[in-house]
Amino acid sequence: MLILSPVDRASEVPELVDAGAEELYAGYVPPFWSDAFGPVVSCNRRSFDEANVGSFDDLEALVHAAAVRDVPVHVALNASPIPEGMIPRLVTTTAEFARIGVRGVIVSDLSLLLALRDAKLRRLALHASTLFSAFNGMTVAFLRRAGAERVVLARELTTQEIAAMMPPAGETRLETIGFRGRCPNIEGFCTHLHDDPRRTWPCELRYEKEWVGHGEAIPPEILSAIERNEGADRFFSCGLCAVPLLERAGVHALKIVGRGSETARKVDAVRAVAAMRAYGREAIPGPEECAARGKGLYRETFGRPCRPGNCYFPEFRPGEDG
Amino acid sequence: MTHEYRYLGPDGEGIAGLPAGIGAALGSEYCVHLLPAADRMAEAVREATDRGAPLLLLTAYFRDAELKASLPLFRSIPPGAPVDVAVNDWGTLQTLRALFPRMRLSIGRLLSGQKRCPRIGASARLTEEGRMWHGEGIFSSPRARTYLAEAYGVAGYHVDDLPWSRPAPSDLAREADAPFLFVHVPHAIVTVSDACPWIGGASSASVASCPRPCRNGHVVLREPSMGAGLVQRGKARFTCRSGDRAPVGSGGVVVYRDLP
């Protein structure tokens, strides 16, 4: 299982690769897109500058820096919907990506996926984004038919569900997201606007609440479950415990979230995932050993115990005390 | 011509009481536990057929085991029956097309691509073009529509009539080859979680069956920066639009008396 790390500029490549990243992905917004839609609507769902490579030349430098270390770079074009008029322009841009050595594009819009499939760009793989909400094997089949060679699964699946999806996927490579950036909502079904320059998103806000229904107040278990996500910091999200099991299941790559974060954070994340993967390869641990080792590694990485709201994989979810 | 469907809850109770010419909608777009059982679906089809009323089954997203377990529900729809099935899962579309090639399939709101966060209407950082982008969706794309029609027999799309839709689904000036739209009013789905607060925040997949406690009430959520309130029921959060725009040019309108 490969470790897929976010990257925002060429200067980050050596540190990330040294830490254990074997694939990188980046964001790039072509000028024609930002001219059309302004600063908030990004073609890769990251509206802040730090999460996007500054220019096409910068992207080329990044791809070159990765290529000399034999590490492929993929580019996110995972906004949806892509307006019809933008499709040919993004296909042309993607052809330029392929020319400079980008090895894959991450897509969440069906029209763009079909257009890129039909463009038959050489040496460029089409990745179906987690925004396609692949909860089942038949969604993988649907996406394969539409041109995807790699599918990023829904973030909510358990390791067992993922493992069961591997054999029917055949040659379609499956990828999971497993570190940082866990959303409380199903990303492909969430339509919240992420426009706050301070990066406080609607899913994390503290809401005033009013109960309408049987009884006078919100039942405490409902209130508690709703409040658990309020103020959650997705920086602390983790799926380390699952890493050995995902690798053993045959998952092609584990994606770390975090375009736009500081280099040190990205490097720490890659190191943590690499350490857990190495443990899995050496010890061939069962789920309980994975849980113990993963939670220990979490403490080392974040300097605090893990919490249920930060856990990617429900089967490893800790109690409130970590 | 506009066909009206009334949402009658997960199990479609009350088809017999519908006025003549009004169709019924049942099921759920966001939770497998809010889908009717196969025998109830068969009964609903009979009731609707007897009254000459069209039926619309809303379906959710499925894990593999859930999709397999739902097959009796789909089998309970007789081939050729006047039943539209709204899919909110690409794998469900793939499965139903393969197993039930005559089934009338449409793309549900969760797959439509429209953005419904009330903040879109309130954000000062969006340009007008940027704001209108949020009302577009897969239904706006001739390429996607052609593919879905040819490969999967998709005959319609489910949308919300949002202030930032362009052209609004209700707009008579929409292009001549516009797709058949089912416009849902007045509750637009803003977001869906896999974790349900009504079962303590656990994944809905962690329970084999659910007594549907979410039918007992909902939570109104307010925060000044959002521009308008949200309402949470089960795993979904909605925003409610006042009915100030009649969805005139649309193919179908799905009306909710209560939150779905």
Comparison of pLDDT for A139 and A310, the residue scoring more: A139
A29-43, A68-82, B60-74, B87-101: least confidently modelled range: A29-43
Cis geometry, peptide bond prior to residue A168 (ω within 30 degrees of 0): no
pLDDT of residue A231: 73
- By three-state DSSP, how is residue A290 classified? helix
In this structure, is the dihedral angle defined by the CA atoms of residues A288, A294, A299 and A305, taken in order, positive or negative?
A: negative
Q: Is B19 exposed, middle or buried (0-12, 13-18, 19+ CB in 10 A)?
A: exposed
What is the mean pLDDT of the segment spanning A278-302?
96
| Band of residue A230 on the pLDDT scale cut at 50, 70, 90 | confident
Q: Is the confidence at residue A288, as pLDDT, over 80?
A: yes
pLDDT tens-digit profile of B123-148? 888 998 889 888 889 999 999 999 99
pLDDT tens-digit profile of B8-32? 999 999 999 999 999 999 999 999 9
B155: distance to nearest CA of chain A, Å? Answer: 17
Q: Which residues of B touch A110 (CB under 8 A)?
A: 138, 141, 144, 147-148
- B138 contacts A139? CB cut-off 8 A: no
Beta bridge partners, A134, equal: A153
pLDDT of residue A168: 95
Amino acid at residue number A263: T
Nearest CA in chain A to B111: A189
pLDDT of residue B168: 62
B247 Cβ contact partners less than 8 Å away, ≥ 6 residues apart? B2, B161, B169, B170, B183, B185, B253
Considering only CB atoms, B193 lies closest to which of A80, A186, A202, namely A186
Contact assessment for residue A63 and residue A73, using Cβ atoms and an 8 Å cutoff: yes
pLDDT of residue B170: 58
Amino acid at residue number B123: S
Contact assessment for residue B128 and residue A71, using Cβ atoms and an 8 Å cutoff: no
Q: Is the confidence at residue A149, as pLDDT, over 90?
A: yes
Nearest CA in chain B to A157: B63
What is the mean pLDDT of the segment spanning A284-306?
95
- A165 contacts B64? CB cut-off 8 A: yes
A174: distance to nearest CA of chain B, Å? Answer: 15
Q: Which residues of A touch B222 (CB under 8 A)?
A: 207-210
B51: distance to nearest CA of chain A, Å? Answer: 33
pLDDT of residue A234: 82
- CA distances B197 to A134, A155, A226, B204, Å, are 23, 18, 6, 10
* HSE (side-chain half, CA atoms, 13 Å) at A214: 4
- A136 contacts B63? CB cut-off 8 A: yes
Closest by Cα among A146, A12, A302, A152 to B147: A146
Q: Which residues of A touch B201 (CB under 8 A)?
A: 224-225, 228
| Helices within chain B (DSSP H only) | 38-51, 64-75, 90-99, 119-122, 128-133, 142-152
What is the mean pLDDT of the segment spanning B31-60?
97
Beta strand pairing call for A173-179 and A150-152: parallel
pLDDT of residue A195: 82
- A211 contacts B221? CB cut-off 8 A: no
Picking from A110, A191, A208 by the largest number of B CB atoms within 10 A of its own CB, the best residue to mutate is A191
A212-221, A228-237, B112-121: least confidently modelled range: A228-237
Q: Is the confidence at residue A169, as pLDDT, over 60?
A: yes
Query: Residue B250 and residue B248: Cα distance in Å, rounded?
Result: 6
The 10 Å Cβ neighbour count of residue A226 is 20
B44: distance to nearest CA of chain A, Å? Answer: 27
pLDDT of residue B203: 95
pLDDT of residue A196: 81
| Band of residue A158 on the pLDDT scale cut at 50, 70, 90 | very high
Model pTM score:
0.96
What is the mean pLDDT of the segment spanning A13-42?
94
What is the mean pLDDT of the segment spanning A7-17?
98
Query: Residue A186 and residue A197: Cα distance in Å, rounded?
Result: 23
pLDDT tens-digit profile of A233-276? 788 999 999 999 999 999 999 999 999 999 999 999 999 999 99
pLDDT of residue B248: 54
First-last CA distance in chain B: 25
A86: distance to nearest CA of chain B, Å? Answer: 11
The 10 Å Cβ neighbour count of residue B65 is 14
pLDDT tens-digit profile of A88-142? 999 999 999 999 999 999 999 999 999 999 999 999 999 999 999 999 999 999 9
Query: Residue B143 and residue B10: Cα distance in Å, rounded?
Result: 33
The 10 Å Cβ neighbour count of residue B84 is 23
Nearest CA in chain B to A203: B191
pLDDT of residue A219: 96
Question: What would the two tokens of residue B129 be?
Answer: 């073009």
Q: Is the confidence at residue A232, as pLDDT, over 90?
A: no
Q: Is the confidence at residue A157, as pLDDT, over 70?
A: yes
pLDDT of residue A203: 87
CATH number attached to the domain at A2-183+223-316: 3.20.20.70
Contact assessment for residue B6 and residue B23, using Cβ atoms and an 8 Å cutoff: yes
pLDDT of residue B244: 54
- A136 contacts B91? CB cut-off 8 A: yes
Contact assessment for residue A46 and residue A52, using Cβ atoms and an 8 Å cutoff: yes
pLDDT of residue A88: 97
Considering only CB atoms, A84 lies closest to which of B125, B140, B230, namely B140
A151: distance to nearest CA of chain B, Å? Answer: 13
The 10 Å Cβ neighbour count of residue B252 is 23
- B130 contacts A139? CB cut-off 8 A: no
What is the distance of C-alpha A142 from the center of its chain?
A: 20
Which residue bears the tokens 């080329």?
A: A60
B168 Cβ contact partners less than 8 Å away, ≥ 6 residues apart? B135, B161, B162, B245
What's the CA angle centered on A130, arms B37 and A95, to 5 degrees? 135
Query: Residue B222 and residue B220: Cα distance in Å, rounded?
Result: 7
Which residue bears the tokens 């209700």?
A: B170
Q: Which residues of A touch B192 (CB under 8 A)?
A: 185-186, 189-190
Picking from A113, A136, A196, A237 by the largest number of B CB atoms within 10 A of its own CB, the best residue to mutate is A136
**Domain definitions of chain A by residue range:** 2-183+223-316
Residue B252, phi then psi, degrees to nearest 5: -145, 150
| Band of residue B215 on the pLDDT scale cut at 50, 70, 90 | very high
- B200 contacts A191? CB cut-off 8 A: no
State the DSSP string of A214-269: SSSS--HHHHHHHHHTTT--GGG-B-GGGHHHHHHHT-SEEEEP-TTS-HHHHHHH
Give chain A's mean pLDDT.
Answer: 94
Give chain B's mean pLDDT.
Answer: 92
| Band of residue A277 on the pLDDT scale cut at 50, 70, 90 | very high
Nearest CA in chain A to B225: A202
Contact assessment for residue B160 and residue A77, using Cβ atoms and an 8 Å cutoff: no
- A145 contacts B143? CB cut-off 8 A: no
DSSP assigned state of A107: E
Q: Which residues of A touch B113 (CB under 8 A)?
A: 80-81, 109
- A132-171: burial string, b at 16+ Cβ within 10 Å, e else: bbbbbbbbbbbbbebbbbbbbbbbbbbbebbbbbbeebee
Q: Which residues of A touch B140 (CB under 8 A)?
A: 81, 83-84
What is the mean pLDDT of the segment spanning B187-196?
96
pLDDT of residue B73: 98
| Band of residue B42 on the pLDDT scale cut at 50, 70, 90 | very high
Query: Residue A130 and residue A312: Cα distance in Å, rounded?
Result: 14
What is the CATH architecture of B3-188+239-255?
A: Alpha-Beta Barrel (3.20)
pLDDT tens-digit profile of B143-155? 999 999 999 999 9
